[in-house]
Structure formats: C-alpha cells, structure tokens
Structure 1
Amino acid sequence: MKFNETENLETKEHLMDKARKILFRCKRRLGLNSLGVGSHVDLPAAWTEAIYLAQCKGEIQEEALNMLCTSLDHAPLSCSHLATIIFIAESVLYRICCDASQKSYLYSSEIKLIKIGFLIFLRLFVYHLYGYLDGFEAQLIRLQPHLYALYFCDITYSKFPNIHSSLGFIQKTGEVICTPEKLSEAHSDPVAKKELNIPGTRYKLKPYKKRQEVSHLLWHCTVVWSCVQNQRPRLNEVLEHLLKHKEQLQKKFWLDSVLGLFILGDAAKINISCLKTLMKLGKDFISRCMSPQNQEEKKDSDSPWEWNLAFIYITILGDICLHATTSSLRKTAFMGYISCEDLSKYLELKNTKSAETVELRAANFLDLLKYFSSQISDNCCQMTWTVYYGLVYNLVKMNRELDGDESQDGLRNLFWKILQRIKVEEKDKRILNAIDIAEAELNNTINPFISSTIKAPRNPSFFRYTGRRLAYALSNLFLPPVSPSSLFIKRRKKEQKQMIYKIPKQYQMDKKVIHIILRKNFPEEIVQTYPDILTRTDVVLRTIVEKQWEKEQQIRLYEEEMQRNEEMKRKRKEELECYQAMMKRREEKIHKKTKPYELPGWNSPADSEFLICGSSSDDLRRENL
C-alpha cells in the first residue's frame, strides 16, 4: 500500500491525516457510543472501511482493529450483514495465514486480529443455525483453503492458549459451515468452477437443511436467559432441567456448548441462581476431564475441545467478575463463599507449595486457581497447564481493566495480591509467559475514539455484550414471541432496518425454521401454547386503532370548544360595536350624553315614571333613536 511504502514526510503526514479522518467517520458509522444502534449507523460500510484501514501499519492499524473488535462485540446480528461478515472472515484468515503467523515475534495486532476472527465465526455459526448461509457457497469455498492452512499454524500458536483456543473454534466452525460434502461437489463440477470464476455470478448448490439439530443444553440456556429477561416464575424449574443435560458438554456438541456458556453467562450477570448453575456445569465438566480415568483414556489421543471449552468458561467467568450487576454476584463469581480467614491464609506469600492435595470445591475463579496451581508440573497434561495459563492471563486483564476505577479498589487490590503471590511462587515459564503476554496486549491505553484532552478509558479486554447478542438472536429463533406488542415492535424495527440497509435481490433469503427434537421430555408447564400470528396481529392493530381514535376524538372536542369560544367572543364584540354606534348617533341628534332612560334634573323615580308614561309615542320613538 502507498501508506506503508511511502518515505516522503509530507506525503506521509497527508496520508496520516486522511486516515485519521476516515477513522473518525468510521467510528460514527459503527455507533460505538450507542452499541451499534441508530439512524447514523451503517455497519457493513464501517466494517469494510475498518478492515481496509487495518492494513495500514502503526497507530492506524491498532486503532482500526480496536474499533472493529469493539463493534463486533456489541453490534446486533442481522441478515443484511452476512455478505460483509464473510468478506471480513476471508480477510482475517488471509492475514493470519499469510502474514501474522509468518512473523518471528507475537504482536498485539496479531492477537486482536485473531479475536476478530473468533467473533466473526461466532456470528457465522448463528447464521448457520438460522439457515442464512444458503446461497453463499461460492464465498464459503474461498474460505476453505485458508481454513486448511490454519492447521499448520497450530505449532506456531501452541505455546499461547489464548490464541490457540480462538483458532480451534474457528477451525471447528469452518468445518461445519463450509459443509465439505457440498463444497466437494462444487470443486468436482467443471460448470461450477467456471461459474465461480465469473464475477457477479453465484453457483446454486443444494440448499441447506431446513432442520438443524441443536443440543438441549443450548436450548435450555436460551430458555433460562429468556426467563431472566422477562422475569418468568418458572426459572428454577428450567435450571433444574438444564442441569439434567450437563452430560451434553461433549465433543459432539462442542460449538453448541460454547454458545450455551455465553448465553448462560449473560444471564448469570443478573441472577444468582443462574450463576450457581453455571458454576455447577463448570465444576462437573472440569472434574470429568481431570478425573484419573479420563486422563488415562485420553493419554494417547488429543482432545483440544476439552481445554478449549474450559478456557472459554474461564473467560466468561472473568467477565462476570467484572461486569455483573451487583457486588454480591461479582464476589461469588470470583471467590465463592470462602471466609475471610481462609482468604487471608491463601494470600500469604510462600516460596513452597503445599504438599496437601487440593480438591475442586466449586468452579469459581479462586478455587480453580488453587486447584490448577497445585496440579501444575513439567509432565502435566495439556488441560492442566492451559487452563492455569488462562486463569493467570485473565487475572492480569481483570486487574488492568479496573485500573483507575476508585469504586473497585478493593477488588483490584485483591487481584494484585494474588498476582504477586503467583509471581513469587510460580517457576513454570509457561505460566509466567501468560503474565507477559497479557501485559503486552493491554499496554496500549490510548482511546482513539474521543479527544485526547479527556481521560480515556481503556479498551475492553472481555467480550461484554457478545452473550447478550447471541441470546437475543437465538431466543427469536427457538422460542415464541413473548407478547403481541413485542412482535409488532420487532417487525416494525426490522422493516426500518431494511429501509436503511438495502439488500441486493440475490442476497434476500427467507428465514428457515429450526425444529428442536425430543421435546416430549420437558414438562408441559414450560412449553406453553400461544395464539397464532394472525390473532396476535389483530390484537395489536385493534389496540393501535382504538388509541388513535381516542386521540382524534380528544383533538376534535378541543377544536369544537375553541370554535365555540371564538364565536362567543365575536358576538360580544359585534354587540358592543352596535351599542357604541347607537350611543354615538343619539349624542349627535339630541346633544346629550345621558342614557336613554335618564333625564337631567329628574332625581325622583316617580318623576321618571310620570315622564315616561306621559310622553307621546313620537317622543318615545325619538328617544329610542
């Protein structure tokens, strides 16, 4: 690019100024201050600009990647974004395989780029569940070589579980969404190859299956989130049924489990029962993976999905420790129900580890830290050191994100003391490497979105809104609408968005319906019947018409009242003008200013009556004039 290759200072300053202007415009289009919602937001165009700006080296690259990562975290999911999402996926995979992985050192921009890839493929998997990838086979075929090349990057990133975990999710998601059996047909068909090389054409393969099988664990997590958001009374019953499906945290439903953990984690930020259920799931899964029987069975085989899922669970738990709605939720997620005496004993710095075996009491952050620190050794399994790596890595990020927040000084002080204990006691280079990488990743404290004169908050290091966006999208897919009014509002918002972001005809697709299997095992109280869409729409329309009629009736009554008041004022004004004109004519004729029934010099009422009665008709007629 001209920006990276130029050596002239004047040209470089001109291009830098132009790039900064594009960054500010891109920030407004992304809606970073409004969570990606607003009439000024144009996400596809802004994402495209950001991914292009990310090719500029230096400060512009860091700022563009920060903006793109933040936007993908909180932006809502929409079908109109799908073409741009696939384009970004191809760009990110190309950068990872052909540029980032070939460098001799690990850069912060490289970590951010892989984070963006994780968020992109997380959205692609949701679109796959919706059935929206039907018709995008040509774009998915272009992803296949890059996905294949990712397997050669495993050795490069095997020492960094924070990156390796994201790459594992991208690889597994790519295997699912690219559907190798369908893509192989396109590769073997010469007509397909010819049409795929023609720009502007799309090869039509067999459509996606309308019925996608998902795990009951993911379905129950979505129901739990819906119950928390809508304050349903059956929450405890749904949580009990969720725990019955904890065995589905397995390789077959690995991707569904990742979505379920994100959704349940978002509900755990609000409700303590959901947090306890999440920790029970985590404890049961880690205990099964770390059991001696399981370790013996998996000794010769590689099971990366286990530690990947545990790593994602730790990341979600760290997000809850920072962003839960109440302090009790944050405290429970981090240290459980530990007493102050036990905590003070743990915080005492010691140079030797305790010889006593540590049991996993709960799956809160501190208990996991105690458990895996006691299990770490040179010959430990990959699950042990990668999860311990993730705990230390997320602890550094949690400590850094609370820097400058006076309201969280107590929690940050606790994080700092635990980190000091780890730095003193831990001798494993892999774990100490986690501290260095986390500090290097969070070293950039400049916020590119606001003025430099304002104290800039640090860029978020956790996916704070991802679980909420996934839960909202999947609840619309799996569950019926809550009320007719919400249905009408959602449909109206969808129509407005379609007016703002016009989709080409070739990208317009109908929503596919997903059927959940084995629902007969659920109680009848949970699955309730709802009126059909025509009945709900009629109720909404009737309510709107009645409200509009009442409003028009009030306006009509007010206008009639105002018209009557104006008519009365007009009549009074005419009577006054008529009376003044009569008095003026009388004064001109008789040269008197008295009223018609008054005569000068007559003070007695009897005299007045005599005069009036004795006067002739001509005199009376004259007086009236």
Structure 2
Amino acid sequence: MPITRVPVINRFGVISASYHEELLKRSSENITEVNIKKPRKPLLITKEFINKFNNTENPQDKKLLQDQATKMLFRCKRRLGLSSLGVGSHVDLPAAWTEAIYLAQCKGEIQEEALNMLCASLDHASLNCSHLTTLFFIAESVLYRICCDASQKSYLYSSEIKLTKIGFLTFLRLSVYHLYGNLEDFEEHLIRLQPYLYALCFCEITYCKYPNILSSVAFIQKTGEVICSPKRFPEAYVDPNTKQNLGFPGMRHKSKPYSKKQEVSHLLWHCIIVWSCVQSHRSQLNEVLEHLLMHKGQLQEKFWLDSILGLFILGDAAKLNTSCLKVFLNLGKFFISSCMSPQKQEENKDNDSSWEWIIAYMYTTILGDICLHATTSNLRKIAFMGFSDCEKLSEYLELKNTESTEPVELKTASFLDLLKYFSSQISDNYCQMTWTVYYGLVYNLVKMTRELYEDERQDGLRNLLWKTLQGIKDEEKDKRILSAMDIAEAELNDTINPFICSNVKAERNQTFFQYIGSRLAQALSKLFLPPVGPRSLLLKRYGKEQNQMKYQTPKQYQMEKKVIRIFFREKYPEKEIVHPYPDIVTCADLALRTIVEKQWEKDQQIRLQEEEILLAQEKKQKRKEELEHYRAMMKRREEKIHKTTKPYVLPWQTPSEESEAMASSSNDSRQEEVYSIGNT
C-alpha cells in the first residue's frame, strides 16, 4: 500500500520553535475571546443608557445619544404598528410597550414622544391575553411615577397628564380581563399593585384642581380596588411604641385577591347588544334601544365602573347610527338633570357623590370624540348642536353677552346645550358637579379646535368651534375654567414631530380615545353574546404570535392533517377552516338564543293575528253602520215622498232592468268605498 505524505507548509516563514508556539497561543486566545464575548446590540435600551442620556453634559455625547434614542423610537413605532392600528407581521406589542416605558424615562422630547406613542397604541390595540404581563408592568410603572415622582412636584407637567391617560387605558383593559376571569394566575402582580393603589389615595389632594387628571386617578383607584379585592386588605400593622404604620395593606398577608368571573349590570349588557346590532345591521336595534332606556336608572348606582364601560361602548355605536346617538344623548340628559336637581343636591350634602361628576365628565369626553370622529357630518352636527337648527349658536352667544336671571333648561345633552346650561349654573352654584363638568367641556372644546387645525374637510365645524371658544375666552372670568384652556393648550403644544424633516407633515398627538370603545365592545361581545366566528383569543393564552411556514406540504401528507391552526394575523379561505367542537357553555348559549328567537317569532305572529282580527272587526262595524244609515235614509224618504221604490229605480222599469240598476249601483258604491279606503 503506497504511503502519501502531506506537505507541511510553514505559514510563519523561517522562525524559531518557541516563537511559533507563542504565535499559536495568541491566536487561540483571540478565537476564545470572540466566542465568549458576544457583540452587543447597538440599540439596546439599558439602565446605563438611560442614566447616561439624562446625566451627560458633553454636547457631542448628547448628540450621539439623541441620535440613538431617535432610532430606538422609530424601531418602537414600527413594532407598535401605529400606522396599521396594531396589525401586521412586524408588530410586537409586548416588546414595543416595554421599550416605550423605558424610553419614557429619558428626559425631554424623547419622553414626550414615547408617552404619545404608548397612549395611541393602548387606545387602538386589540385585547389579547399575551399582553397581560406587560400591562401589569405598565400599570406598576405608571403608578410608581405618579405616586413617587409626578405628584411630589410643585408644578403640573404635560407628562403627568399623559401618564394618567396611559394608566386609565391600562386599567380599563385590566377590567375587561377581570370580567373574563383571566387574572387568576397573576396574584403576585395584583399584590404588588396594592401599595401603589394605597398611596394613590393621597394624590387626590394634589390633583383636586384638575378634573381631567382626577377623573383618571379615581378610575384607576376604583378599578384597582375591584381587581385586587379590597375586602381582603388586612389592616396596616401599627407599632405600639411609635404608633406609625409599618406596612401597606396587603403586604403582610398575601391573600388570594381574585376569585372568579364577574357579572355585569343590565345597562352594560344592553349596550353590548346595541353595539352588536349596529355592527351586524340587525333589525331588532330599536327594540333593544327601548329596553336600554328602561335601565337608565342604573347610571345613578354607586358601582359606576359598568356605567363608564357602557358609555364607551354606546358612544362607539353612536358614531355609526343616529338612533344610538339619540339614546346616548337621552341617557346623558337624564343623568345630568337628575344630578343637578335641587332635591338631589341637598341629598349629596350628606352623602358621598364624588362618583357622579366622574360619569358626567366621561360623558363629555365621549361626546367630544363623537363630534370629531363620527362617520357622517350629520352625526357630528347632532352631537355638537343637537336636533335643532343652526340658530342655537347665536342664542348661546347672546346668552353670554346678556346677563339673564331666567334659569336655563337642559333641552338635549348635546355639547352646545351642555355649555349653555353649565355656563348659566356656574355663576351662582359652585358645587363640584357644576364646575368640573364645565371644566371638562371647555377642556375638550380646546382639544377639538386643535384637532381640526388645518383640516380643510371640516371647515364649517372648525369655525363653529372657534367662535364658541372665543366667546368663552372673552366672557369667562372663573380662574378654574381659564386654567382648563391653559392646560389643554400646554398638553397639545408639542404637535410638531422633532424627529422628521420640516417639509413632511407631522403627525398629530392623540386628543381623544377614538378606538378603545370598539375594542372593549369586541371583547365583551365575545364574552356575553353567542359566538359568531372563530373562538375568542381571550379565552386562551398565547405567546408571541408566529407566522406559519411558507413551504408547501406534499400531497400525500395533506389529508392526514385534519385541524388547521388559525392565527390572528393570517387569513384563510372559508372552505379550509375547520372549527372546533363547541363546549357545553357555547351549546347552552346557542340553545338559549334559538329559544329566544322562536319566542320572539311566536309573539310577532300572535301580534299580527290580533291586528288582523281587530281590522276585520272594524270593517264589520263600519258596514253595519252604513247599512243602518241606509235603512234610516230609506225610511225618511218613504215618510216624505210616500213611495216604496228605491231612489235608483224608475216607475216604468221592468224587474230585470231594476236588478241591473241595483247591480250597477252596488258596483259603484264598492268602487267609492275602495277609493275612500285608499285615500285614508
């Protein structure tokens, strides 16, 4: 067997053996260092980066860090899917929300832009159980910033307003998950929220002059009490020597804060059905609206979380349908007029009525959203001016110029009517309900005017809002109302995006919660109404959504796979979708729905039969009256003329001719009867 020798090539040239070994040792060390020390991501948000960004003083380092933070913002914006309403293969909401919270710790323009992006994403993103961990992280971060940082400052900053908005949207979503029963496995997160919720009670005094912030803080506190079960809070531990609290409630004994699914009020349930009827164009919408008005008294109950959820859902339906808008205005008029009655105000002196102004303030916020984002101009006009003509604005301006002692009645709860009503009440009445709602109206009016800036499609509404706002600025003297204008203008002052070129039109900051009503309605309709499409994504916890692989399966294996997994981001033809078998609850809901529909059909048939019977009785009674009238007429003719012949029979006619004349007269009378019935 031949022996082959491999030639040895000395790549180092003619060198000594010791130097050769040293070079090999160095090369091996370099290889191991590369393998151990992995390259760090240049745009990774860390604690060191945030501290360096906030504390650096070198201009060159500031510029470099500003550029890096801007790139992080663009990446976060793409992951949030702001231009596609949170839908797309590039969207990763949990990671993007976490990045936005971290970037909000950077001072300056980066903080404002990150908070704006996070608020917009929480408004339009759909609900999914994979977001729960991130939502608890956002809630804890926001409460920490409010309790430990923002409320301790001597001045009000725009970041505080945005933080309270983010907290409001976060706890609004958590309340829906609470109704679903999805907070069962998050006991530790709920327990960690308890000390911040306890500390939030002491922040109400700081924000008592700002109802826009105080309403959000009150909602966060009330929702936190519900989802964290305040009845299980143990008493704070008190040191007998110093007599001081040594711990927050809920921290010494970790009791289970969550039990089971919760029930909702009839008002909220009917609002969900109304929204579903509007979306599916059901003919039973008017009947459901009538049933909804029967439960409008539940707005006055102290458990007001369901009332706010119902107003958001009904407000989203009012953007699409005139009947829903009428019912929405009717509910607002009933609640505000009942709260502003003298008898109710005397009762509120002894009782706690802090929740009433919160519902009224939320109503004005939702009404402002309808004025801007309704689908038709007619709906926007009705929401702002009511159902009367355009002379209402001139009447309102005349009322502001002339001092009248006559009380102003609340005709409809439209935006302009509420302005007219509360502007007349604030001069003599300084109760909390009066000035907070009027504060909210003026605050939202400024935001509406700024939202329509440079919008050529709505010149008429923009000019109308501007005239109304100028009239308030000229005549109003209350410092609290004037501060509402200043706060709204300061909040919307950063409308220009500093991270894009000046020749590109900048995106506007979100002024109202435009999409959260539809997101809440979609989630709650899947919970309380029978399923129409695929199974709800809220009933099962998913991780990060992954796209299906794009290769084709061989034909011999295609028949073996009977179940197709359906993801939220993918769309398949209907013939390929294999729906899972429904569970016992779904079957019971479907059976109950069929029973109710059959009962409605039976009631409708009985109603139609009764109407037919009444119509036949009316016709029979009418014929009887006509016959009696004819007999009386013939009797009077016989007494006067002394003839027994009929008026249409001549003396020389034969019996056959007489019968023909009678038949023709009867036909003429029938034609006259049909003509008279057609005219009626």
Shorter-normalised TM range: 0.7 to 0.9
Q: Which residue of 2 aligns with 1:44?
A: 94
Structure 1 residues 426, 208: closer, same or farther in 2, change over 3 A?
Answer: same
Q: Which residue of 2 aligns with 1:159?
A: 209
Structure 1 residues 97, 234: closer, same or farther in 2, change over 3 A?
Answer: same
**Does the 8 Å CA contact 2:228/2:258 hold for their aligned counterparts?**
no
1:143-542 equivalences in 2 (<5 Å): 143-182=193-232, 184=234, 206=256, 208-348=258-398, 350-377=400-427, 379-447=429-497, 451-482=501-532, 486-487=533-534, 498-499=545-546, 524-525=596-597
**Does the 8 Å CA contact 1:234/1:526 hold for their aligned counterparts?**
no
Letter in 2 for 1:243: L
Q: Deviations over 1:238-292 (max 9, x none)?
A: 1111111111113443001111000000000000000001111111111111111
Structure 1 residues 404, 527: closer, same or farther in 2, change over 3 A?
Answer: farther
Of 177-186 and 32-41, deviating more is 177-186
Q: Which residue of 2 aligns with 1:618?
A: none
Q: Which residue of 2 aligns with 1:104?
A: 154
Give distance in 1, aligned partners of 2:193 and 2:266. Answer: 30
Q: Which residue of 1 aligns with 2:138?
A: 88
Displacement of 1:8 = 1.5
Displacement of 1:513 = 7.9
**Does the 8 Å CA contact 1:220/1:242 hold for their aligned counterparts?**
yes
Displacement of 1:499 = 3.8
Unaligned runs of at least 5 residues, structure 2? 1-50, 239-246, 549-582, 602-680
Structure 1 residues 488, 86: closer, same or farther in 2, change over 3 A?
Answer: closer
Displacement of 1:456 = 1.6
Displacement of 1:451 = 5.0
SS of equivalent to 2:283: coil
Displacement of 1:18 = 1.1
Select which of 55, 80, 84 maps to 1:30.
80
**Does the 8 Å CA contact 1:130/1:513 hold for their aligned counterparts?**
no
Of 373-382 and 283-292, deviating more is 373-382
SS of equivalent to 1:105: coil
SS of equivalent to 1:249: helix
Displacement of 1:205 = 6.0
Displacement of 1:480 = 0.7
- What is the aligned-residue identity percentage? 73
Structure 1 residues 339, 47: closer, same or farther in 2, change over 3 A?
Answer: same
Displacement of 1:184 = 4.2
Whether 2:108 is the aligned partner of 1:58: answer yes
SS of equivalent to 1:360: coil
Q: Deviations over 1:484-506 (max 9, x none)?
A: xx2279799997964469xxxxx
Give distance in 1, aligned partners of 2:161 and 2:478. Answer: 23
Q: Deviations over 1:126-159 (max 9, x none)?
A: 1110111112111111111111111111111110
Higher helix share: 1
Give distance in 2, aligned partners of 1:250 and 1:294. Answer: 11
Q: Deviations over 1:587-619 (max 9, x none)?
A: xxxxxxxxxxxxxxxxxxxxxxxxxxxxxxxxx
Give distance in 2, aligned partners of 1:500 and 1:309. Answer: 43
Q: Deviations over 1:203-259 (max 9, x none)?
A: 996584334121011111001101100111101011111111111113443001111
Q: Deviations over 1:276-334 (max 9, x none)?
A: 01111111111111111110000133311100000000000000000000000000000
Displacement of 1:344 = 2.3
Structure 1 residues 450, 219: closer, same or farther in 2, change over 3 A?
Answer: farther
Letter in 1 for 2:534: L
TM-score, reference length from structure 2: 0.69
**Does the 8 Å CA contact 2:190/2:257 hold for their aligned counterparts?**
no
**Does the 8 Å CA contact 1:131/1:512 hold for their aligned counterparts?**
no
Displacement of 1:512 = 13
Structure 1 residues 58, 495: closer, same or farther in 2, change over 3 A?
Answer: closer
Whether 2:110 is the aligned partner of 1:70: answer no
Give distance in 2, aligned partners of 1:148 and 1:383. Answer: 25
SS of equivalent to 2:127: coil
SS of equivalent to 1:104: coil
Unaligned runs of at least 5 residues, structure 1? 198-202, 502-510, 530-625
Give distance in 1, aligned partners of 2:416 and 2:257. Answer: 48
**Does the 8 Å CA contact 1:147/1:174 hold for their aligned counterparts?**
yes
SS of equivalent to 2:409: coil
Give distance in 1, aligned partners of 2:510 and 2:599. Answer: 38
Give distance in 2, aligned partners of 1:139 and 1:312. Answer: 28
**Does the 8 Å CA contact 2:333/2:413 hold for their aligned counterparts?**
yes
**Does the 8 Å CA contact 1:135/1:207 hold for their aligned counterparts?**
no
Q: Which residue of 2 aligns with 1:506?
A: none
Displacement of 1:420 = 1.1
Q: Which residue of 1 aligns with 2:67?
A: 17
